[in-house]
Amino acid sequence: MSTEKTFDHLDRSPIHLLHRASQCAGDIFQEEVGDDLTPRQFAILLTVAQNEGLSQTHLVERTGIDRSTLADVIRRMLRKGLLQRRRTREDARAYAVRLTEEGWRVLKAAEPHARRADERILSVLPNAERNRLLKALTEIVLSLEAA
């Protein structure tokens, strides 16, 4: 198989292209937000802020972060003082997660930078294509999660 055919295949591979786009988006996020917060940590802070007291199981469902990765990220965020967690009343095995004052401060400071990162990423497309991309990505996620 020639090198040219391999590149042709990668240029048509959604797995490869989504991975590459994710790498580029992550780099832009870090440039805008800085090294103190990762895109996953931001997603967790934002989701918890919008759903105070959410269980870690529900965080997995809302963010799409797998259970073991989420548990590891939550532990690091607890150590950084961004989150606090308590056992839920409904299930003594489950934890409810809340933002600390520091978590709220970090989220509020990061939000405009994260928004700017999103704008930078979408700015490479004409205005008419931006919503189409977001709808297509949402459709891919929802369809594949349901399958």
Instruction: Supply the range of the domain harboring residue 135.
Output: 36-146
Residue 138 domain-assigned?
yes
- Per-residue pLDDT at 4: 54
Residue 92 inside a domain? The answer is yes
- Structural domain includes residue 54: yes
Is 13 a domain residue? Answer: no
Nearest residue to 120 (alpha-carbon basis) of 21, 38, 15, 45: 21
3-state helix, strand, coil in the chain (%, to 5): 70, 10, 20
Query: What is the predicted pLDDT for the residue at 102?
Result: 98
pLDDT at 12: 85
Task: Please give the Cα distance from 19 to 25 (Å, whole number).
Answer: 10
Q: Is 19 part of any domain? A: no
- Is 31 among the domain residues? no
- From first CA to last CA, the distance across the chain in angstroms is 33
Tens of each residue's pLDDT in the chain, 147 residues: 555 555 568 888 999 999 999 999 999 999 999 999 999 999 999 999 999 889 888 999 999 999 999 999 999 999 999 999 988 777 777 788 999 999 999 999 999 999 999 999 999 999 989 999 999 999 999 999 888
Please report whether residue 12 resides in a domain: no
CATH at residue 60:
1.10.10.10
Domain count, the chain: 1
- Residue 80, pLDDT score: 97
Would residue 6 count as lying in a domain? Answer: no
The conformation of residue 90, written as its DSSP 8-state character, comes to S
- pLDDT for res 113: 98
> What is the H or E stretch that residue 30 is in?
helix 14-33
